[in-house]
Amino acid sequence: MTGDGISVGPWVIPESELEERFDTYGGPGGQHANKTETAVTLLFRVEESSLPDDIRTKLLSRLGSPVEVTVSETRSQWRNREIARERLVERLESALVDPKPRKKTRPSKSAREERLSEKRARSELKKSRRRPEDD
């Protein structure tokens, strides 16, 4: 995080593109929690951001817009703002990581044979529990 915005990979999102809302939090803290606005909701509108088009498209498809992070863990508004920014960076960076392509695999011959022999054994066990058939 920089003084003029937050860093996501090699890009910097300026403070002007982040929207913050504050609210009271009814957790522990007595009167303090009831009268001070310490809960923070951080909003980042991806479609209106200054990020490159390909990055913006990837974020929109994976996270949607807007990306919203709400934090009310501490009694300090300042600390909740820091946590919200950290979580926003984590969400954006994890959305930018491309998933590894799945490698198609097949069960080995011995695994297939073992599965079939277990099925036969189970079938025999169930047959042995049936009533004898009348011929």
The pLDDT value recorded for residue 135 is 65
Distance CA(80)–CA(41), nearest Å, equals: 9
Omega within 30 of 0 (cis) for the link into 66: yes
The pLDDT value recorded for residue 94 is 92
Dihedral, CA of residue 27, residue 29, residue 32 and residue 36, to nearest 10: -30
Q: Work out the angle at residue 10's Cα, subtended by the Cα atoms of residues 6 and 14, and round it to the nearest 5 degrees.
A: 30
What DSSP element (H or E) covers 89? Answer: helix 77-96
The pLDDT value recorded for residue 24 is 81
The pLDDT value recorded for residue 83 is 93
Number of H helices, E strands in the chain: 4, 5
The pLDDT value recorded for residue 1 is 56
Question: Partners of 13 in the beta sheet?
Answer: 6
Domains and CATH numbers, the chain: 5-96 (3.30.160.20)
pLDDT in tens, the chain (135 residues): 556 788 888 888 888 889 999 888 766 666 666 677 888 999 999 888 888 889 889 988 988 888 999 998 888 889 999 999 999 999 999 999 988 999 999 999 999 999 999 999 999 999 999 988 776
CA distances to 93, 112, 124, 126 from 117, in Å:
47, 9, 11, 14
pTM to 2 decimals?
Answer: 0.68
The pLDDT value recorded for residue 50 is 87
The pLDDT value recorded for residue 39 is 87
- Note the pLDDT tens digit of each residue in 65-74: 889 999 988 8
